[in-house]
Structure 1
Amino acid sequence: MLARLGALLSLWLAVLVTGAAGMGAASAEPLQAADGSIELRHGTITTSVDGITRTGPIELSYHWDRQHRGRPGLASFDLPFTLAAAPATPWGIFIPRVGNVFEVQLNGALLQVYGDMSVGNDADYAKAPIYVPVPGHLLTAGENHLQIRLRADSARRAGLSRVVVGPATPVRTELFESAYAWRFTGSVLLTAFSLIVGSIALALWLTQVDTGAVGRQRRDGIYFWAALAEFCWAVRVADGVIAEPPLPWVPWGVLMAACYAGWAASAMMFCYHLAGWARNPRLQWLRWPLAVVVAGTVVASALALHREQPVWLTGWLAVEIVIIGVFVGGFVVATVRNPSTERMLVAIAALVTVAFGMRDWLVIRLSDAYGETTWVRYSSIFFGIALLLIVLRRFHAVSTQARGWVAALAERVAQRERELALTYAELEQVARDQARTHERERILRDMHDGVGSHISSAIRQLQSGQTSSEELLRTLRDSLDQLKLSIDSIHLPPGDVGALLAALRYRLEPRLMAAGIEFEWAVEEVEPVQLLDAHAMRQLQFLLFEAISNVLQHAQASVLRIEADMQGDTVRLRVIDNGRGFDASQVPRALWERAGAIGARLAVESRPGRTVVQLAFG
């Protein structure tokens, strides 16, 4: 089976070489088509190479590097043709390939100049087909002479293909525009396609990051090599539309050769990852021949261009094709053993590309044919499509898997949220129960500390037998007032000092009147105090009650005034009486402790006729 395939391949290559080399072996006379156009194939040529000038007959096409072993020089082609009558319509000249720089003359008149004939290794106009319009008056009945003078640079595919002259409409629309679309427009489209595929692959490589088991972030190499292959090929194909390179010829030529090799090596690295060889430590050595392909191409192209000997690059390209061919053969075998749609696509594209690369090497580098276009330029699109399909398929698979993970994670998060909601509800219930328990404990504690202590005092007073009924009644009234205030405190909003004062007035004003004390109320609207929670409100209530109770019991006052106002952001409360006063340095300890507990600033001033207990918040 392999022997038959080898024989068929050899026959196919032989046909390619024979067909390319045999072009132009027909009649020696200009060939005139039915539309009146004439194909010019014969004439005379004058060449100047290394100071030696020669003149002789020529049969087009003329491949400069094959004829002069890559040496640069000048050439002048004289291509005669005969017309039965002077044409009445405009004519045109179609040249599929000519270069590197040249000028076109007809019957001694200069028609067009492409580049500077006096400067070598500069522009290169052999990359695109040429159309030169011909004014009708320049053509005469009888013999006419088309002269094409060119300057040929080494290893830049200089020369002249067969030339067609004829009526402008068929020559331009049927010949030139078709060739231009394939070579120039096709190069632009291929460049754009490669840039798009490369950008997609690069974006995926940058964004698709996998965190391994050890916590290291890892990107999929298959995307990187796909991007690098397409970017290298985009630069290489773009050269087909750049007549004047931005770099000098030698660096530019080396760069183009390196991009060609970089494309081939990157595409093979794509296959390397696709076949799963990257995960096999025993196959790691396969990367080194591909590195040799790139390095060898750079060296060989530099030698070929610097020494003006294209044979260096021609020979190395043969080695490169063998290396790539062996690699592709191994990939095909691996694909047959473990087939998949992705691998089959790439294997077919790789086989076609290698076959076209061999054809290009034989036709472009070895045969005398000139004017041929590389086939790899167009076969690479199949490889690009295969890369794009695989990249998109893999991205779709990863996205599907990621969506599955996201859905599973969302379900787990929802389950956790439901569990947390239940737990939170349970905690809220426990918190409410605890709050009620704490509130009960606080009320009991307040009753014990306030009401209980007053009742205990009343009991001791009765037991002593030395207390008057008036003192005992005052103690019991204090106990009752404090009990009422404790009950009121349950419903007080946190921080609402105004409501607290109103409750205090409601409970104590009747007692003050009964004691013959005039009560003055000077309470303005005040802002809520944020730091006063329920417990602090109770402490403030005790503090104010104790201050008022002291007035009732000890001050012998006739007027009690309560004030509340705002000074900026500060809430200020005052309990003022006109009693006998006391030593302000001996303020009851309970007042200081309660004031400190609620974050209030306590100030006390006292003299006969005026005692002020002030609290400030904020």
Structure 2
Amino acid sequence: MRPKWASLLMLWLAMLLAGIAGVSSAATAASEAPIELRQGTVTTTVGGVTRTEPVELSYHWDRQHNGRPGMASFDLPFTLEAEPETPWGIFIPRVGNVFEVQLNDALLQVYGDLDRSNDADYAKAPIYVPVPGRLLRKGDNLLQIRLHADTARRAGLSQVVMGPAAPVRTELFERAYAWRFTGSVLLMAFSLIVGGIALALWLTQVDADAKGAQRRDGIYFWAALAEFCWAVRVADGVIAEPPLSWGPWGVLMAACYAGWAASSMMFVYHLAGWGRDRRYQWVRWPIAGIVVATVLFSALSLQREEPMWLTGWLAVQIVFVLAFVSAFAVDTLRKPSAERLLVAGAALVTVMFGVRDWLVIRLSDAYGETTWVRYSSVFFGVALLLIVLRRFRAASVLARGSVAALAERVAQRERELAATYAELEAAARDQARTHERERILREMHDGMGSHITSAIRQLQSGQTSSGDLLRTLRDSLDQLKLQIDSIHLPPGDVGALLAAARYRLEPRLASSGIEFEWAVDEVEPVERLGAQGMRQLQFLLFEAISNVLQHAQATVLRFEAGMQGTTVQLRVIDNGKGFDAVKHRPRSLAERSGAIGARLTVESRPGRTVVQLEFD
């Protein structure tokens, strides 16, 4: 009976331990899942009046305060079931105009100067803020976002997502960044290319009229002006700190938007042939009035801090543009052609997107939405480009007789160039892979290989202790782990490098009886530290720590990092026995610091050794 009861007791204990482990694993997994912060409190100050109230994100400042400027402080509490084991990040789709982010009373990031009005605007691109290690804690946490809002500048705060750095950055931030920031850059480049082609054709294609006077085709001029206006307007999406204050800059952007619409209508005006019909020549005056009125109403809206002046005028403008496009569509159905049908379709889609943007951006409470017209404008730009190129081709055929043979030769040349480029690109990829393999093998040979060689020699000598041999093998394993980590480190991110080193080496220090202290503040990225430089810095820090483990007989090791003005300062400090830093200056540390352009300072005395690196 006793063996039976003993077996049952052992089975019960095993089940209990398995249940505890399952609960722990579930808590850890829950703590590592991204969380979306929507609810909290907001404290606003508008016109000298401060008010605190509950808030549910997103928060559209212009809708809540009628476009008046002011300050807001958002407190977003959240609870974690366990302390995260991996680095976290914060993703904010839209926030502005200028703001700062704090987590558990620690300042993480500052974008702009909260005390300055009508200056920078960081609401144009999504934001990602890395969270330093150990800043999050089990239980209650508080994310605070303070912002300064300018008049009628789309200020506010969207919902906030927090979670492990890898999925939050790659799956959320980078995708949003590509659509809004990178997409704006590509659209601007496309508009500049189309505008440049149209302008070149307007300058070079000169025809003679019936009286023998030379004239240029206006359709090229208006296409160029439309695309240049749109390029400037789209460029605003990537300029966080414009060269002008918000008042003049906002009027300029509104004028560019109106200039694009008016120039596009003049392009259609010439394409439809209305310029040769006296019945339609009056249309030119209200088209010009669109630009003038937009400038006046945008200036009035900003001066009086009442965005509805511009919103109302944009409604009138949309009605006029819709009527103009509808008249052109009807005329196209009566006299259809490929050019007219292409432009009419693009114009109708653009107008529909413009109506959507007016309703969502100017009237609704939704915050975080972006305009659709910036993307539909591509259709119109493609239509302009195709028509301009088709007319140029027709003019070239009339002037030179035939273009077919030339086009075939150009196409053949393009195919040859494409084939050659593909071969060069394949060769470049093979060469890059070869160089990367050589680099990895070289670093493994110089780093881990040298430690394993030392371990073999220690075994062969028969004079080493198991502790020394174990230390050598652990150094080899730690260096291999750090080499793997270095592949994923972003260039110049010294904070991420220190966090990775801490994650890898803190257990090793603890097993060696060394207390680890962490005093790392947020530091600016070091631009000149590329992938190779980051690896050199990682090896330098590892060597400094390895010296402490092997020689210092220390009980405390401390990491310090911070900003001294514009200088990034890193320090590794131990309380070991010290050494003569003048006679025995660490040669390897000096070589590695020189390779990455850092200033190395080594101070040592019994009870305190400091290895300091500084980057300007």
What TM-score, normalized to structure 2? Answer: 0.60
Per the alignment, do residues 86 and 35 of structure 1 end up closer, same or farther by CA in structure 2, a change over 3 Å counting?
A: closer
Paired position in structure 1 for 2:305: 308
Structure 1 equivalent of residue 401 of structure 2 = 404
**Structure 2 residue identity aligned to 1:326:** A
Aligned to 1:616: none
1:316 and 1:35 mapped to 2: Cα distance?
49
In structure 2, the gaps of 5 or more residues are 1-28, 404-616
> How many residues are matched?
376
| Aligned partner (choices 339, 342, 348) of residue 342 of structure 1 | 339
2:192 is the counterpart of 1:195: yes
Q: State the secondary structure of the residue aligned to 1:111.
A: strand
* Conservation of the 8 A alpha-carbon contact between 1:93 and 1:134: yes
Q: Does 1:243 align with 2:240?
A: yes
State how 1:323-342 maps to structure 2 within 5 Å. Answer: 323-342=320-339
Residue 212 of structure 1: CA displacement? 1.3
1:348 Cα offset (Å): 0.6
Aligned-partner residue type, residue 238 of structure 1: A
Q: Name the CA distance, whole Å, in 2 between partners of 1:54 and 1:33.
A: 35
What is the alpha-carbon distance in structure 2 between the residues aligned to residue 128 and residue 236 of structure 1? 15
Q: C-alpha displacement at 1:119, in angstroms?
A: 0.5
Indicate which of 85, 103, 109 corresponds to 1:112. 109
CA deviations 1:152-181 (Å, max 9, x no partner) are 000110000000000000000000000000
- With over 3 angstroms needed to count, the CA separation of the structure-2 counterparts of 1:313 and 1:200, relative to structure 1, is same
1:354 aligns with 2:351: yes
Matched, 1:40 2:52: no
- Give CA deviations for 1:466-517 in whole Å, capped at 9, x if unaligned: xxxxxxxxxxxxxxxxxxxxxxxxxxxxxxxxxxxxxxxxxxxxxxxxxxxx
Task: Describe how 1:578-597 pairs up with structure 2 within 5 A.
Answer: none
| Equivalent in 92, 96, 101 of residue 99 of structure 1 | 96
Change (3 A) 1:34 1:288: farther
Q: Corresponding residue for 2:217?
A: 220
Following superposition, the deviation at residue 349 of structure 1 comes to 0.5
Q: Secondary structure at the match of 1:371?
A: coil
Give, in angstroms, the shift of residue 292 of structure 1: 1.3
- Give distance in 2, aligned partners of 1:146 and 1:34: 16
Does the aligned pair in 2 maintain the 1:229–1:267 contact within 8 Å? yes
Show the counterpart of 2:504: none
Residues 27-73 of structure 1, C-alpha deviations (whole Å, 9 max, x = no match): xxxxx999710111110000000000000000100000000001000
Deviation by residue 1:113-152 (Cα, 9 ceiling, x = unmatched):
0000000000000000000000131100111100000000
Amino acid at match of 2:210: A
- Separation of aligned partners in 1, 2:118 and 2:363: 22
Deviation at 1:249? 1.2
| Contact kept in structure 2, 1:233 and 1:259, CA below 8 Å | yes
Conserved 8 A contact 1:35-1:170? no
**CA distance in structure 2 between the aligned counterparts of 1:298 and 1:149, rounded to whole angstroms:** 32
Q: In structure 2, what is the equivalent of residue 80 of structure 1?
A: 77
Moved over 2 A (4+): 32-35
Contact 1:304–1:313 (CA<8 Å) still a contact in 2? yes
Could you say which structure has the larger radius of gyration? 1
Counterpart position of 2:604: none
Does structure 2 retain, via aligned residues, the 8 Å contact 1:97–1:160? yes
Structure 1 unmatched runs, 5+? 1-31, 407-618
Q: Percent identity?
A: 78
Deviations 1:542-588 (A, max 9, x none): xxxxxxxxxxxxxxxxxxxxxxxxxxxxxxxxxxxxxxxxxxxxxxx
Q: Residues 332, 35 of structure 1: CA spacing in aligned structure 2 closer, same or farther, 3 A cutoff?
A: farther
Listed one character per residue, the Cα deviations across residues 579-599 of structure 1 (whole Å, up to 9, x for unaligned) are xxxxxxxxxxxxxxxxxxxxx
1:289 alignment counterpart:
286
Of 48, 66, 71, the residue aligned with 1:69 is: 66
Give the alignment partner of residue 50 of structure 2, picking from 46, 49, 53.
53
Give the drift of 1:213.
1.9
2:202 corresponds, among 201, 205, 212, to 205
Q: State the one-letter code of the partner of 2:172.
A: L
Does the C-alpha gap of structure 1 residues 51 and 338 become closer, same or farther in structure 2, counting only changes over 3 Å?
same
* TM-score scaled by length of structure 1: 0.60
C-alpha distance in structure 2 between counterparts of 1:34 and 1:374, whole Å = 35
Secondary structure of 2:401's partner? Answer: helix
**Preserved CA contact (<8 Å) 2:32 2:84:** no
Cα distance between partner residues in 2 of 1:159 and 1:225:
37
Aligned counterpart for 2:228 among listed residues 224, 228, 231: 231
Please give the alpha-carbon distance, in whole angstroms, between the structure 2 residues aligned to 1:378 and 1:33.
38
Q: Does the CA-based 8 Å contact 2:31-2:81 persist in structure 1?
A: no
Q: CA, structure 1 residues 341+150, in 2 after alignment: closer, same or farther (shift >3 Å)?
A: same
How far, CA to CA, are the matches of 2:186 and 2:303 in structure 1?
Answer: 32
**SS of alignment partner, residue 137 of structure 1:** coil
The superposition leaves residues 400-443 of structure 1 with CA deviations (integer Å, 9 ceiling, x where unpaired) of 0111299xxxxxxxxxxxxxxxxxxxxxxxxxxxxxxxxxxxxx
RMSD: 1.5
Inter-partner Cα distance in structure 1 for 2:133 and 2:355: 45
Letter in 1 for 2:199: L
Match of 1:262 in 2: 259
* 2:306 counterpart letter in structure 1: Q
Contact 2:31 2:82 in 1 (8 A): no
Kept in 2: contact 1:62–1:161 (CA 8 A): yes
1:365 matched to 2:362? The reply is yes
How is 1:137-216 mapped onto 2 (pairs within 5 angstroms)? 137-216=134-213
Look up the equivalent residue of 2:264 and give its one-letter code.
A
| Residue aligned with 1:165, SS | strand
Equivalent residue letter for 2:186: L
Measured at CA, do residues 330 and 35 of structure 1 come closer, stay the same or move farther in structure 2, by a change above 3 Å?
farther
